[in-house]
Amino acid sequence: MAFGLYLPFYTILCSVELTDKIKAFYLSIRIHMIIPKANKLSTNELKEVEAIASDFECSILEIQGHNRCVYAILGDEGREVMFKRIAGLPFISKVDMIESPYKLMDRRSGLADHRVQVGKTEVGKEEPFFIAGPCTIDPNNPNLYLESAHAIKEAGAHALRGGVWKPRTNPYSYQGDNQSLEIILQAREKTGLPIDIEVMDSEQLKLAFDAKVDVLQIGTRNALNYSLLKEVGKLSAGSDTTVLLKRGRHVGSPNEFIAAAEYIVAEGNPNVMLCPRGTTPHLEGYRNHPDESITPLLKNRTWAPVVVDPSHSVGHADFVLACSLAAIAYGADGLCIESHIDPSKGIGDDPKQAIRPGKLGELIQSCQAVWKSRYLP
């Protein structure tokens, strides 16, 4: 690996506070992944592996997925004897070396076969995965959200989104309300669909996690908030909770985006979806600069599913369909779309960029057709 590729991550890591364990993990230029024969090591097997690693002043990080676990060796990795001893254990399939600035997100890592599941649906397996819902939940009009939720389900969406707490550039704009959490939980109960909400701090994260929110969304303003990313990964480690990580709005490289997701995975939760959502400076006529074209780059470098947000990318309901079709054509596994039963009555961004559920249904059918064409011989 060229040092030039690695240098930006070294700079980032040196500028934030990390535990020695995680810092050693990231600043090592290569890492070895332990792949067990079974889906997970037993307690005694893990102790045996840890004992070998300890002999060489290394430690083991367990990464739990839906279907299996992999194990990263942290520390000084120039210990061929250690690798051979671990690989020789009867319950170990292999020990693989990964050279990458992001060790676990790399498509060659032990998580290469990991699949992200939201509710009962595996993201990007047989059809595009659709998350849809209003930008912001109005706590003073809960029925409007509930009606939207039912219509969105009928349109064919797999999960509901809804802004409970809202990050705003203007400090005097509506910031959200805890009551909205109860409204979206009610919508989940009534529709049976998983729910996706954005969290911005520790308090919101705990409230959402305790409520068993299916998808924790990290918005563009917090995309490089490494302390929050680590906290999300740590709290949700070992659970079925999925994290939708949006790309930072101020243009960063695809590698910076993937490395941000690594913070979550390194704390123990590999259920991460990457969400391009447009960047700044904006392209004249659009809200942002559409960036769905980075999808092939992300798919080439990491195993994580890519779920594009066309609504924030273009910022206008009339352009959402075209951007959605482009994203699916580029190889996206799904879309996150703002949809409202009556956008004119919505708050936040809904009046400008939300599409009605009827249009959402047409969009879903069109995207499914493009999806199928990707696999024609």
The CA distance from 168 to 176, in Å, is 10
Regarding whether 251 and 214 lie in a shared domain, the answer is yes
Regarding whether 133 and 70 lie in a shared domain, the answer is no
Do residues 203 and 235 touch, judged by C-beta distance below 8 A? Answer: no
The verdict on residue 171 lying in a domain is yes
- Residue 18 pLDDT exceeds 60: no
The verdict on residue 312 lying in a domain is yes
Regarding whether 263 and 216 lie in a shared domain, the answer is yes
Residue type, 128: P
Cβ atoms within 10 Å, residue 107: 15
Residue type, 7: L
- Residue 101 pLDDT exceeds 90: no
Regarding whether 125 and 94 lie in a shared domain, the answer is no
What pLDDT, in 10s, does the model give residues 194-210?
Answer: 999 999 999 999 999 99
The CA distance from 150 to 357, in Å, is 9
- Residue 3 pLDDT exceeds 90: no
Boundary of a domain, candidates 69, 99, 129: 99
The verdict on residue 235 lying in a domain is yes
User: Tokens representing 157?
Assistant: 């969406």
The CA distance from 101 to 31, in Å, is 10
The verdict on residue 272 lying in a domain is yes
Highest mean pLDDT among 105-109, 112-116, 148-152: 148-152
Three state DSSP letters for 308-365:
ECHHHHHCCHHHHHHHHHHHHHHCCCEEEEEECCCHHHCCCCHHHHCECHHHHHHHHH
Regarding whether 125 and 74 lie in a shared domain, the answer is no
Regarding whether 255 and 176 lie in a shared domain, the answer is yes
What is the sign of the dihedral through the CA atoms of 240, 109, 228 and 122?
A: negative
State residue 276's pLDDT score. Answer: 97
The verdict on residue 10 lying in a domain is no
Nearest to 92 by CA among 46, 30, 60: 46
- Residue 320 pLDDT exceeds 80: yes
pLDDT top residue among 116 and 25: 116
Regarding whether 142 and 46 lie in a shared domain, the answer is no
The verdict on residue 11 lying in a domain is no
The verdict on residue 108 lying in a domain is no
- Work out how many domains the chain is built from and give that number: 2
Q: Give strand pairing partners of 348.
A: none
User: Tokens representing 331?
Assistant: 């190889």
- How far apart, in Å, are the Cα atoms of 161 and each of 103, 157, 294, 322, 338? 30, 10, 23, 21, 8
The verdict on residue 4 lying in a domain is no
Write the CATH number for 72: 3.30.70.1140
Do residues 243 and 307 touch, judged by C-beta distance below 8 A? Answer: no
Domain that holds residue 299: 117-373
Write the CATH number for 336: 3.20.20.70
- Element of type H or E holding 35: strand 30-36
Nearest to 25 by CA among 112, 109, 114: 109
Regarding whether 135 and 87 lie in a shared domain, the answer is no
Regarding whether 251 and 122 lie in a shared domain, the answer is yes
The CA distance from 295 to 248, in Å, is 15
The CA distance from 358 to 132, in Å, is 12
| 30 — pLDDT class (breaks 50, 70, 90) | low
Residue type, 58: C
Residue with the two structure tokens 């998580």? 111
| Residue range 41-70: mean pLDDT, rounded | 90
Regarding whether 244 and 131 lie in a shared domain, the answer is yes
The CA distance from 68 to 155, in Å, is 33
The CA distance from 194 to 191, in Å, is 9
User: Tokens representing 188?
Assistant: 């989940």
- Residue 190 pLDDT exceeds 80: yes
Pure H helices in 108-253: 142-155, 179-191, 202-210, 226-236
User: Tokens representing 118?
Assistant: 């939201």
The CA distance from 138 to 146, in Å, is 11
User: Tokens representing 2?
Assistant: 């060229």
State residue 61's pLDDT score. Answer: 87
| Residue range 70-95: mean pLDDT, rounded | 87
Residue type, 200: M
Regarding whether 147 and 75 lie in a shared domain, the answer is no
The CA distance from 365 to 184, in Å, is 26
User: Tokens representing 288?
Assistant: 């942002």
| Residue range 287-296: mean pLDDT, rounded | 93
